[in-house]
Chain A
Amino acid sequence: MAIEPADIRRIVTPAAPVTRETMRADIAKMLHEDPEEIGGGDSLIDLGLDSMRAMNLVLLWSEGGLDLEFAHFAENPTLDGWWALVDARQRARPPLQGG
């Protein structure tokens, strides 16, 4: 099967996998907080996260080619909830093909 335009974009920007700890660090930086302040079940809204910051984080984590949809993140804004979404996507992701 030919390489299709939509795939090309994802292959050219490979990045290291997203981990729960990188997510925690990214969230903390967005909130000007220390990472240890972010508990897995804490409501990120209560910690001061707003939609633009949340959207920016989702964009950041999709830079490596993960197909993440903000609306799913919006339903349950906690570190645990978000990690579950990212983890599921990373597992489902087909292995990178050589560029």
Chain B
Amino acid sequence: MSEAGAQPPPEAHPLTEAQSGLWYAQRLDPSNPLFNTGQSIALTGPFDRDAFEAALAQAVAEADALALRMIDAPAGPVQVLDPAQRPVLEVIDVSRAGDPMAAAQAEIARDMARPIDPTREKLAAERLFVLGPQRHVWQQRIHHLAIDGYGMILLTQRVAELYNAHRRASDPGAPLPGMAAAFAEDAAYRASGKRATDGAYWRELFADRPEVAGLAAGAPVSAPRFHRRAVEIDAATFARVRGSAERTAIPWPDVVTALAAAYVGRHTGTPEVVVGVPFMARLGSAAARVPAMLMNVLPLRVAMPERGGIDDYLGAVAKSLTRARRHGRYRSEQLRRDLRLVGGQRRLHGPLINLLPFDETPRFEGLESRLDVLSTGPVEDITFTFRLHGTDGLRLEVDANPDLYSAEEVAAHAARLAQFLAAASAAETLDDVPTATPEEARRHLFELNATDHAVPDTTLAALIETRMREVPHAPALRFAGEEMDYATLDARSRALAERLVAAGESGIVAVALPRSLELVVALVAVLRAGLAYLPLDLAQPDARLARILASAQPRHVLARAEDTHRFDGKVEVLAPGDWPVVPTGAGIDGPAPEDAAYVIYTSGSTGEPKGVVIGHRAIVNRVEWMRAHYGFTPADRILQKTPASFDVSVWEFFLPLMAGACLVIAPPEAHRDPVALARIIAEEGITTAHFVPSMLAAFLAEPAARGLALTRVFCSGEELPADLRDRFHRTLRAELHNLYGPTEAAVDVSYWPAGPEDRSRPVPIGFPVWNTRLYVLDEMDRPQPPGVPGHLFLGGVQLAQGYLGRPDLTRERFRPDPFRPGERIYATGDLALWRPDGAVVFLGRSDHQVKIRGLRIELGEIEAAVMASGRVRQAAILAREDGGTTRIVAYVVAEPGAELAALKAEVAARVPDYMVPAAFVRLDALPVNANGKLDRGALPAPDFAGRGGRLPATPGERRVAALFAEQLKLDAPVAAEDDFFSLGGDSLGAVALLLRVREAFGRDPGLGALFAQPTVEGFARLLDAEAPAEDLGLAPLITLLEGGPDLPPLFVLHPAGGISWCYGRLARALVPRRTVYGVQAPALAPGIAPPASLEQLAAEYVERIRAVRPHGPYHLLGWSVGGILAQAMAVRLAEIGAEVGVVAMLDSYPCDVWRGEPDPGEDGALKALLAIAGHDPDRLPALALTRPSVLAFLRASDSPLGQLPDAALDGVVRVVAGNNRLVRGHFHRRYEGPVLHFRAALDHAGRDLSPAQWRPYAGSVEVTDISALHAHLTGPEAVQVIAPVLARALESVEQREEAACATAV
């Protein structure tokens, strides 16, 4: 076969479908070397170099794919066969190296880590390393565009065949077929009816869009490298697998695929998993023997087995596999496009399960060969590859994306899956197969829960009595300027206790007092009398109060005389005025450790509140742990601000009394008022306070809180967001501790120090307290491995005795401990996972129960109240999270003819205020899915803004409406008549709104004013009384987002259109949240003279931002023209000695590149206007580019631009044209600092635009490629990538600044 002679002109072929997917993936990620596949073979023994070189040359000459040259043509990529591309064997002698094998491996690793450009370089390399006379390593590296895994085997086997034939001088067999067969097959399939039916099969199979998950959160986008861990499947397991295969007449590789899919399902916790199964696509193909890229990945839907025999499950999976392969030629990339699953985090399948049931090792006669597969292409998520070696060895290789999995997690999966196969291959049913390895189970169940600690077997009453006698003259309580010492507390509580005992009380005493000295006296007295206290909140409706009283049946209530009417004669009221204050000395026995200490009612799912009974032993353990763990002393001053009916109050009340410290009681209602709290913390020298996280967020936003110092702050009741932790440490000086626990387990059962050095996201709930156990179990009570969500169960001494009078409910939630015979566990209904370090992370509720501001809400109780109105036939109550705010929404189907106007008031009469739905949505029927279950996804978002009809008209109204919308995170426009509270606002939201109002208007009209005038028009009128009018939307400087006062703001510069609204999404995506100001073109307003030059405009902008922010650092960001402005402003700021922070550009290029281009004129301006409104002008070819038609189009679309008056739209067109002129006339000066450049990597094909063109004008240019078009850089997908990079840059500038300040001090 000769290469000589005249070659016909190379014929260009389009890429095959199989190649196209890879081509675009590589173009998006050109620096990723994983598009090269590769392997190395160590050859040991007498090596015939000549035979090898001849064999390789021959095989390379046969394998056309190695001669492919890729051409990126304007009409799309094509390929030609170019003999010059064929690799020539490179021989590398490393025999003189100290460790020749290590030297060869290092060189191979270096080569595999180098990306290649398939349009410029050879697709393949063949390299022979000489380690010694009898030791050689043959490395092959071939771009995935040219070959797949099976193609590599064919090529390798062919080399071996030719080598052996050369040595034996025998027939070398048939040559490898050429690429023509592959091209012909591809063309035939593309045109065939088979492709159409295959496509229809897949689209039908995926029509219901199954949920697809990997084994780790994050975007499945291949990194430039991967982790690998290989383990050997033991021979006995493999023998059992083949036994199952024999028994079920299913090929053993399909048995392994099915079991591995079950393993995946154990981790996703979904009823079905979708795994990817590589498919060689060669059976029955004329291209079967062509070394080329043909393989496909089939998405395999696997329903998880439900308590059936294992054979049924294996049979079902095998059947799905057979069907999938029958339609396996249809490309998964095409299916992704069909299903609109392209881009972002959208997936067609999760982990890959790859079975290679043949020994790939080539046989070179006289040589021992050992194969090492180096790379088989990009690793998007995690791939489980099973390779046969020898005749009965099976190796599992786990390859995983290092962006999603740590090396330890990969090793854990390898070990765990091997264990899973070992157990599953021996099991009759998968139910018996654990997910965690025995080592993981032992660590989780026992080692992490080894919390035994000796605690005195006593009562709260005894501990408090001891302290009272030790420090009689120390201050025990402070309230509103009054103080009570321990001796007085001792006397008064003792006297009241005697009175209760004398009254013959023997069970529960209700306490319904507001925060006061008397409240604490009452609680201590009840405990000392050996009774349990039942805290009652008088803010709840009579109906609920009556239900609780009927359930607990206290005979006495300690309440104010003026509240007597609330008890309706059912309970005897003992008012503080009637309490004895001097003890008589009558003997009282006091409680025993097993007696109940308190009963707290929580919301119940059946609609009935349930009373949790906590004994002394449980709560003593909790409070003693806290006292010792955090080192409380008599010098501590602890703030009591939690309502007594919420169990967090229990330690607030009693920990200080057990420590001899001072309990400072906040005035009633102060717990909702950040200003009052800041004052009391400062004035009273509080050392310890508790916050529910949502209240902590409101508190930190209060300027008066800034810089306060405490010893420690505790959070519990809700998830503590990581950003809030970080904001806490920027705002206050105090330790921060995250605690977790339900009322059913004596307040808290776990703890986590959330200090300033804690980087955890999310913040864990941590580790168990003394004598306590945390279990994370799956549906079948099996312990979960690390990182896998499960149900959280609690065990140990702190568990409640049960629900008062409800043995049925108690049995349901308090169950026998499956791991510690004779003990109980409590099912929290929470989802959690174990981190690798053993800390537990809370993930949310497993049922419909929700928490709002730390208060547990049973939607069932609300539903019961809605149904009890008699006006409603059907109801669904949901906690909806819209834009980060959780609100309760009631969806109702009314009884025929029923009037729903009064429904809200009726529900409010039956449930506490925090449980009243923010919206009632009337539907004709509740949407249901195929299974007849409520289809939650189909419920409409509540139309909070539905009532009002008049758009906000005055600037004040627009501003107030914007603040309402922003605070309530509404998408729909807010009307002038809309009421803040009916839009879903609550009192906490009102506090936050007022803070925004104070910043935006410079005035604080107060909560009362908002309650009096809650509508947009009313509240705006109130504010307008003193305010000058201005146009918010087109003002020269607008606030896109209000952030905390502690971070320097970001200034964003308008692009060509002069408006900076486009940055709203980016502003909101920045974490931590910070204020973002938009700078807008002054020429938007008519009659303003256009600026003379871009320099002049930049100087003007600098003045403007210095007016709102007199000192640096100034962070600047601009898109397009905005980036040019940012650079010019940075130059100006540096010139006047101001500190410049981050300078960021979204795909801006220096003016030099525009100067030569023609002015786009009015067409360009109109296109820019469309782009600003969020439309891609190139996708609107039918739209005439004239001012009237574009304006009409915008009016008809839902863009906010369409709402602007004509004069303003004219302003935009004018500004665009003006900017084109300014840019062409601008000459950059150099800015010595760094520039952060976000390049629209999908754009500018064929144009000479590069961020490097900024180098002459900037100290440095750091480029981040964004897979987006220029026009989409402020869209949701691009923002997802830009925001974190930008946030990191902002943070690093600010940290540098802090460090500089610290050194200066």
Q: List chain A positions with a Cβ less than 8 A from chain B.
A: 4-6, 9, 13, 29-30, 32, 43, 45, 48-56, 58-59, 63, 69-72, 74-75, 77
Contacts and interface: CB of A to CB of B under 8 A. Distances in A.
A13 B391 contact: yes
7 contacts: A45-B283, A51-B325, A52-B251, A55-B253, A72-B289, A74-B289, A75-B288
A9 B321 CA distance: 32
Given A70-B358, A74-B289, A56 B365 contact: no
B280 interface: yes
Given A6-B365, A74-B289, A55 B358 contact: yes
B152 to A, nearest CB: 12
B249 interface: yes
A76 B264 CA distance: 36
B284 A71 contact: no
Contact of A52 (B289, B321, B363, B366): B321
Given A50-B321, A75-B288, A75-B289, A30 B283 contact: no
Contacts of A63: 391
User: Chain B: interface residue count, which band?
Assistant: 20 to 34
A74 B279 contact: no
B302 to A, nearest CB: 15
Interface in B361-376: 363, 365-366, 368
Contact of A48 (B322, B357, B368): B322
A33 to B, nearest CB: 11
A58 B249 CA distance: 16
A6 B363 CA distance: 7
B391 A51 contact: no
Contacts of B322: 48, 50, 53
B249 A55 contact: no
Contact of A77 (B252, B284, B326, B390): B284
A63 B157 CA distance: 19
B895 to A, nearest CB: 57
B358 A75 contact: no
A32 B248 CA distance: 10
A50 B252 contact: no
Given A13-B391, A50-B325, A74 B251 contact: no
Given A4-B365, A6-B363, A51 B358 contact: no
Given A4-B365, A50-B321, A9 B282 contact: no
B317 to A, nearest CB: 12
B282 A51 contact: yes
A93 B556 CA distance: 101
B977 interface: no
Given A4-B365, A70-B358, A51 B280 contact: yes
B154 interface: yes
Given A74-B284, A77-B283, A52 B365 contact: no
B154 A71 contact: yes
A62 to B, nearest CB: 9
Nearest to A75: B288
A52 B357 contact: yes
Contacts of A77: 283-284
Interface string B326-364: 101000000000000000000000000001011000010
A80 B843 CA distance: 60
Contacts, number: 73
> Which of B154, B254, B358 has the largest number of chain A CB atoms within 10 A?
B358
Interface string B1050-1062: 0000000000000
B502 interface: no
Contacts of A53: 251, 322
A2 to B, nearest CB: 9
B285 interface: yes
B286 interface: yes
Contacts of A51: 279-280, 282-283, 325, 328
Nearest to B290: A71
A32 B283 CA distance: 20
B357 A56 contact: yes
Nearest to A78: B284
B391 A9 contact: yes
Interface in B237-258: 249, 251-254
A74 B285 contact: yes
A50 B357 CA distance: 14
Nearest to A32: B249
Given A32-B249, A71-B154, A75-B288, A52 B254 contact: yes
The 8 closest A-B pairs by CB, nearest first: A74-B288, A50-B325, A56-B251, A51-B283, A71-B289, A75-B288, A6-B363, A45-B284
A29 to B, nearest CB: 6
Given A30-B251, A51-B283, A72-B289, 19 more contacts: A6-B363, A29-B249, A30-B249, A32-B249, A50-B283, A50-B322, A51-B279, A51-B280, A51-B325, A51-B328, A52-B253, A52-B254, A53-B251, A56-B252, A72-B288, A74-B283, A74-B288, A75-B288, A75-B289
B368 A71 contact: no
A51 B280 CA distance: 8
Contacts of B390: 9
B366 A4 contact: yes
B366 to A, nearest CB: 6
A10 to B, nearest CB: 10
B357 to A, nearest CB: 6
Contacts of A70: 358
A50 B286 CA distance: 16
A52 B391 contact: no
Contacts of B249: 29-30, 32
> Which of A6, A32, A69 has the largest number of chain B CB atoms within 10 A?
A6
A97 B363 CA distance: 19
B325 to A, nearest CB: 4
A71 B282 contact: yes
A57 B284 CA distance: 15
Contacts of A29: 249
Nearest to B257: A52
A81 to B, nearest CB: 10
Interface string B1265-1302: 00000000000000000000000000000000000000
Interface string B370-410: 00000000000000000000110000000000000000000
B357 A59 contact: yes
> Which of A30, A32, A51, A63 has the largest number of chain B CB atoms within 10 A?
A51
Contact of A43 (B282, B284, B391): B284
Interface string B249-280: 10111100000000000000000000000011
Contacts of A59: 357-358
B257 to A, nearest CB: 8
B640 to A, nearest CB: 69
A74 B287 CA distance: 9
A24 to B, nearest CB: 16
B427 to A, nearest CB: 23
B246 to A, nearest CB: 10
B277 to A, nearest CB: 9
Contacts of B285: 74-75
> Which of B283, B286, B368 has the largest number of chain A CB atoms within 10 A?
B283
A4 B284 CA distance: 35
A72 B254 CA distance: 22
A71 B288 contact: yes
B1014 to A, nearest CB: 67
A59 to B, nearest CB: 6
A74 B357 contact: no
> Which of A4, A43, A74 has the largest number of chain B CB atoms within 10 A?
A74
Contacts of A69: 157
Contacts of A45: 283-284, 326
> Which of B154, B325, B328, B368 has the largest number of chain A CB atoms within 10 A?
B325
B254 to A, nearest CB: 6
A75 B177 CA distance: 11
Nearest to B362: A6
Interface string B1219-1255: 0000000000000000000000000000000000000
Contacts of A30: 249, 251
